Amino acid sequence: MSTPLRLGIAGLGTVGTGLVRIVQTNGALITRRAGRLIEIVAVSARSRTRNRGVDISAYAWEDDPVALARRADVDLVIELMGGENGPAKALTEAAIAAGKDVVTANKALLAIHGQALAEAAEAAGVALRFEAAVAGGIPVVKALAEGLAGNRITRIKGVMNGTCNYILTRMEDAGLPYETVFEEANQLGYLEADPTLDVGGIDAAHKLTLLSAIAFGTRPDFNAITLGGIEQISIEDIRAAADLGLRIKLLGVAQMTGRGLEQSMTPCLVPADSPLGQLKGGTNMVVIDGDSVEQIILRGPGAGAGPTASAVMGDVIDIARGLRLPVFGQPAHTLEAAFSAKAMGSKPWYLRMGLLDKPGALAKVAEALGNAGVSINRMRQYGHQDTRAPVLIITHKTTRDAIDHAIALAMRTGVVMGDPVALAIEED
């Protein structure tokens, strides 16, 4: 019989307790599939006495997660504390230095420090796995690094933050304003302690950073992503999109072009009848285009104790089976520093502006767009709000630079009230 694989778990929050529950409930099944016993021997968390709904009395306790990583009876360290620095980083570095394999669900840590950690892990001959860091229970990391390894990936696109998707679909289904649904999501515990990580697109951009590194063989570079959150989206935008047969999604897009690697995580409009348009609630979806496979769509729960712990356990079982891969699908030292390119692809755009309710205002805006080389496809004016006249414009295909230039010119006319909203329309 093979020797057991002994786990040390740092972090006993939602995912950590979910993992303990999986090991305790499915232990015999996991042993058969892994070919060896997988057992928890030690844990670490902020509070030893907190009631977590699982029995941890049989496991050794470490107040210091770094001490957990250095225990002689721990073979594999599971980091579930979160945070790009602090204890999570110290634990991961200590585990690698001690020759321990590491499994983490920490997308921020890897998006910021992934290159250095990958190089250290590969130099030490240990595994560093992170399936649970991206899209919850969807095995998208495994799909890219293994199943699609023979493909030249041309594009990744997807909804990667369940909280944002919940907020946007709830706004549409219930006809509620953003502020109301935001507070509802907060009361339900859907938001991070710092809500900007969710609604500002930061959490989802961390995930896109990791997928881009695997897909395009580039060093993870979070700062290269064009970032935008959903805070600007109003119920008027939701209704206008529905009138046009479209839905608003916080959409990540990464593609390698002749100009370099384009990466963005911003609100976009997608056809309501498309797979992404039909995505509801906290579900995630990742669409991958490859030269041989053409297109595949992965859909599933993007968060939660069960799905995320399931992804962690999948990595643990792979390590128990002896499967060892480079962290980002190819040796870390071969990853290239990608030339970051601003998305220049031509596509239609949605513009919403509030104009002063006076003669000639609309003509001035139309002239500004024309001077920027932006052609108007259709335009709609909604009911007046005091001295403000809301206007919706759908452009013909154009670039982000042209839209930015058009908005700058429009703002100089003196007839635009407030900040305009500009959303790309992703048609395919």
Cβ 41 vs Cβ 8: under 8 Å: yes
Alpha-carbon distance of 154 to 187, in angstroms, equals 40
| Pair of tokens at residue 177 | 């304003």
DSSP annotation of 327: T
Alpha-carbon distance of 39 to 276, in angstroms, equals 39
Kindly give, in sequence order, each residue whose CB lies less than 8 Å from that of residue 404, ignoring residues fewer than 6 positions away.
422
Kindly give, in sequence order, each residue whose CB lies less than 8 Å from that of residue 412, ignoring residues fewer than 6 positions away.
368
DSSP assignments along 233-300, one per residue: --HHHHHHHHHTTEEEEEEEEEEEETTEEEEEEEEEEEETTSTTTT--TTEEEEEEEETTTEEEEEEE
Question: For the chain, how far is it from start to end, CA to CA, in angstroms?
Answer: 52
The residues annotated as belonging to the active site are: 207
The helix (run of H) or strand (run of E) holding residue 49 is none
Burial class (CB in 10 A: 0-12, 13-18, 19+), 231: middle
Query: Shortest CA distance to 263 belongs to which of 295, 228, 291, 294?
Result: 228
